[in-house]
Amino acid sequence: MAELLSDQEIGKTLGTLPRWRLNEGGLVRVAELADFTQAIAVVNRVAEIAEAADHHPDIDIRWNKVTFRCTTHSANGITAQDAALAAQIETILQPT
């Protein structure tokens, strides 16, 4: 099973991802897109990388706002896979 990141490692990860925060055992980012269509387009791109990595974020879509939450369900917390996934999602979100 994947190992949980230490508090120090989580702090370091958040230092490289200023738009992400820690919330209830997950790395969380709220993105505001132009409209629902754009929100779905971003979610579809994230779905592709998540499938490729076999590691999937929790996603909440509310019209033009998308909340991504990266946590490892099987480990019940944040692992290196979540840090990597958050960094990849951030690349997709870069202009927002």
- Please report whether residue 52 would count as binding ligand H2B according to CB under 6 A: no
- Closest approach of ligand H2B to the CB of residue 84, in Å: 11
- Please report whether residue 74 would count as binding ligand H2B according to CB under 6 A: yes
**Which DSSP string do the residues of 60-90 spell out, in sequence order?**
EEETTEEEEEE-BTTTTB-BHHHHHHHHHHH
φ/ψ of residue 34, rounded to 5: -65, -40
Question: Which residue, 36 or 87, has its beta carbon nearer to ligand H2B?
Answer: 87
- Please report whether residue 56 would count as binding ligand H2B according to CB under 6 A: yes
Give the residue from 79, 60, 80 showing the smallest Cα distance to 68: 60
- Closest approach of ligand H2B to the CB of residue 23, in Å: 15
Contact present, 33 and 96 (Cβ < 8 Å):
yes
Q: Which residues bind ligand H2B (CB under 6 A)?
A: 54-56, 72-74
